[in-house]
Structure 1
Amino acid sequence: MTITAAADGSALGNPGPAGWAWYVNDDCWRAGGWPHGTNNQGELMAVLDLFRATAHIPGEELLILCDSQYVINAVTKWMPGWKRKGWRKADGKPVLNVDLLKEIDQELKGRKYTFEWVRGHAGHDLNEAADDRARAAATAYQQGVAVRQGPGFGAAAGPLADAGAKQPQPAARTAAVPSGRQEFSDGQSVFSGFSEPDLFSELDEEPAASGVPAEASAEAVVESLERELLRPETRADLGRTGVLLHPDFTEIGSSGRIWTRDTMLMALEDNPGGPVDLELLGADRLGEKTVLLTYRSHTREGSALRSSLWVLDGAQWRLRFHQGTPES
């Protein structure tokens, strides 16, 4: 039998009061948290606790539904390389959340498991249930009240097969993998998800721009968002930055390096940079859902000519592409 469970994390402020939860059904779930933590720590802890809660039935396969591609990639792709490098990244810096990752690594031994990415806040029943419980745990720590921890796994161990039959099941896999997706196996684990990491897909949508009138033009909204994204306090807030960057964000930096949303957010976590002044050159509406900004940026290191392509993703304008060229 395959046990299908969603795992999710939440952090109010990111970092801030944090919660985590895994959910199989209303009779089989668990939640917890800390006074201070991050979304990623919550996501990792939910996965770790799920493995611990099912350690007494190692022969049963786990199908873990997760809306964090950071967690999926960390567990199924990056961890072997980190271990070989002494839990250090390619740049030599220590891996973040290493204690949780090491504990997950121990729990994986001898287990059969599959990770499947699901889009967060998109109406997936199990994901929504886990998210609600993780957020409730974070809110409890914020308010200083007791956390609803849930019945755990043992309470539902008997009727689990019948309860599991009522759960929404993921679409059947076929030999053909849709464009933009990949499937691979490391002998015990299988991952089905988008090939491009999406580090902060679990973040909530936020209003388009604070301080901008509701009737403002798309060009004005996008210019305000670009200016917001250039502020150090915004870049230091990975929750807000994760909302502003499109899941498929790409940047060709002034150094010539190509950045993805994942690598950009990981870099900003280490160094959000200093203040940047924006000298607007143009704001052009290329289509109903596309705006191109061109501007000159000024920092202590010098100036650069820049272009940013913003697209309307639902109700939120997001930065899809950026390029910078230093001025001589």
Structure 2
Amino acid sequence: MSIFTQGPSGLRLVVHCDGACLGNPGPGGWAATIKLMDGDQEISRTEVVGSEPTKTTNVRMEMSGAIGALRALPDNDGTPVAVFCDNEMVSRGMNEWLSGWIARGWRTAGKKPVKNPDLWQELASLATGRTITWHWVRGHAGDRHNEEVDALANAAAAKAMRQAQAG
């Protein structure tokens, strides 16, 4: 069985996203690739990158990669989306924890405030109404798609560091 869901047209969107931080906290970057697929054939590809030259965290950059990807998706025409990230918090947050956080007013099961609620709320809003499956991939383990977005995110973080140093 394939982990990919295909829409009625046979099309699907495949997203790989990642974030990087030089120091934690420190300047950071994020990246995502978005591929429109028809079966095994790549029809189109988009890369999106961004950075934060002020002090940020690795988790915020990981989440920003997913947000940047969802922002860049084409209009919602029902095409299913598979998102792959190497941050387990992002995939588990979207798959397991999000509905509970919302029901508890953005509090954890332990009644503590959810960390990075601004990003979780934006991610939830961008995902609303779409068919998205969230997948965790082991980082730095040879997955070529993950390695590609990792390199893009690190390049964006390096650019952010240069911007921060230039002041």
TM-score normalised by structure 2 residue count: 0.81
Is contact 1:33-1:137 (8 Å) kept? yes
Amino acid of the structure 2 residue aligned with 1:14: N
**Which of 34, 48, 52 is 1:34 aligned to?**
52
Moved more, 16-25 or 100-109: 16-25
Deviations 1:244-282 (A, max 9, x none): xxxxxxxxxxxxxxxxxxxxxxxxxxxxxxxxxxxxxxx
Does 2:23 correspond to 1:8?
no
Amino acid of the structure 2 residue aligned with 1:98: P
Deviation at 1:55, TM superposition (A): 4.4
Does 2:130 correspond to 1:111?
yes
Alignment RMSD: 1.7
**Which of 73, 84, 88 is 1:65 aligned to?**
84
Paired residues, what number? 145
Return 5+ residue gaps in structure 2 as ranges. 1-10, 36-43
Amino acid of the structure 1 residue aligned with 2:123: I
Deviations 1:64-100 (A, max 9, x none): 1111111111111111111111101123221101001
Greater per-residue helix proportion: 2
Looking at structure 2, the residues matched to 113 and 49 of structure 1 have their Cα atoms a distance apart, in angstroms, of 15
Report the secondary structure of 1:5's partner residue.
strand
Q: Which has the larger radius of gyration?
A: 1
Deviations 1:278-299 (A, max 9, x none): xxxxxxxxxxxxxxxxxxxxxx
Looking at structure 2, the residues matched to 58 and 100 of structure 1 have their Cα atoms a distance apart, in angstroms, of 24
Match of 1:101 in 2: 120
TM-score normalised by structure 1 residue count: 0.42
Is contact 1:87-1:94 (8 Å) kept? yes
Report the secondary structure of 1:89's partner residue.
coil
Amino acid of the structure 2 residue aligned with 1:86: G
Deviation at 1:27, TM superposition (A): 4.8
Is contact 1:20-1:42 (8 Å) kept? yes
Change (3 A) 1:16 1:62: same
**Which of 59, 64, 69 is 1:45 aligned to?**
64
Return 5+ residue gaps in structure 1 as ranges. 146-328
For CA contacts below 8 A with separation 6 or more, give which structure has more relative contact order.
2
Match of 2:29 in 1: 19
